[in-house]
Amino acid sequence: MSGNAWTRWPSREALGRAGTTRPRRMLAWAVRILVLGTLLWGAFHHRHIGTGGALAAAAGVVGAGVVAWAFFRTTYAHRLAPSLALTAVLLTLAVAAQATGFTVPALVLWCGCAVSALERLPLAAATPVAAVALASYSVFDTDAWLTTAVTVVGMALAGYVLRLDAEARGNAQRLLAQERAARAAEAESAALNERSRIAREIHDVLAHSLSAQLVHLEAARLLIERGAEREQILERVVAARGMARDGLAETRQALSALRGDLTPLEDFLAELVSTAGGAEVTVTGERRALPAEASQAVRRVAQEALTNVRKHAQGAEVHLRLDYSPHEVTLNVRDSGGRMGELAGTGGGYGLLGMRERAELLGGSLDARPDDEGFVVTLKVPV
């Protein structure tokens, strides 16, 4: 047994009453009542103790009860010196009871001190206390030596078994508290993740919609500065209004997605390319429903890629390819290249960066790079 085990207190969970069942509590009270009855019987079964002796015996019983209660409190607080001092008081009361002829109360106090010390004190302190108490019991017990020896061994084992039982109960209480804390932390983490997902969805929708509106509004501003025709300016304003309307629809769709109500991905892509001139979509592989996060990642990357085409490759032909494989889904958005738009510098430039972060959170990847003809964006998400 390690030195730490010798000096370690039983945990407060072990010394307290929390976690004890009702039958156990009833048994503990029954034992206390039995001990108190034994003390009272031992104190008053003498017929000729007189009034003074009766009062002294009653005071001794009450004093032993108060000291025992204080011992339980100090051991629960892990205060060694007061606990040892109170144990010494109980042993002294036992010696006084034996000296005045109250043998039964003395024997009960010695046994109680031994058992309680082994159950509630560090073993380094409990062992000498129990040894002194049981040795005193052995000296003054009038039974046969074999009976006395069996009683002494039984008391020692009882104290140690009670200690082991209390420590097991305390460990169970700590494990239960840790499990509850882990569940609370897990619930809090799930709530934070859900909040992050909602924030990411709203951000992506607004970033796409507002960026597209900015393209058309900035074009309208440039046309006004150049003195362009009214029809040209109006065309850009109407387009910005249309993008605002589309953004509102996308926001509603994102809210529906957060509720788990998603339109089929193929239908979404078909509708998306229908609003972009010169774009087409191809779907390969076995079509199947995707997890909400994966489906949303594909949708947002497709939107961002088409927005970038309008900004940086006006007039380019765009081809979207959605491939379902057994373990992942791949979205490939390729444009044929076009002239750099006048609004290439608008926007924050963080769209594809945000999409890459979204893909990496799902364990996937996003690659955006120029190729021989134009620009290609490839998203891979495990499913």
**What secondary structure does DSSP assign to 133-151, as a single string?**
HHHHHHHH--S-HHHHHHH
Residue 71's alpha-carbon distances to 90, 221, 305, in angstroms, are 10, 86, 75
Sequence spans of domains, the chain: 3-142, 264-383
Q: 311-329 as b/e, with b when 16 or more CB fall inside 10 Å?
A: bbbeebbbbbbbebeeebb
pLDDT per residue of the chain (383 residues) written in tens, 0 to 9: 445 778 888 887 777 776 566 676 676 666 667 655 655 555 555 545 555 666 766 777 788 888 888 988 898 888 999 999 999 998 888 888 888 777 777 888 888 888 888 888 898 898 999 899 888 878 887 777 888 888 888 888 888 888 888 888 888 888 888 888 888 888 788 777 767 766 776 776 677 677 778 888 888 888 888 888 888 888 888 888 877 877 776 677 666 666 665 678 888 888 777 766 667 888 998 888 888 778 888 888 888 888 788 777 777 788 899 999 988 999 999 887 765 554 444 444 446 777 788 788 888 999 988 877 788 899 999 98
What is the Cα–Cα distance from 372 to 332, expressed in whole angstroms? 15
Give the residue carrying structure tokens 């709530």: 191
Instruction: Extract the runs of DSSP E, i.e. beta strands, from 2-130.
Output: none
CATH match of 264-383 with 3.30.565.10: yes
Closest by Cα among 282, 246, 284, 290 to 264: 290
pTM tops 0.85: no
Q: What is the DSSP string of 100-135?
A: TT-HHHHHHHHHHHHHHHHHHS-HHHHHHHHHHHHH
Closest by Cα among 322, 338, 326, 331 to 365: 331
**3-state class (DSSP) for residue 56:** helix
Residue type at 22 in one-letter notation: R
CA torsion angle for 276, 278, 284, 289 (degrees, to 10)?
10
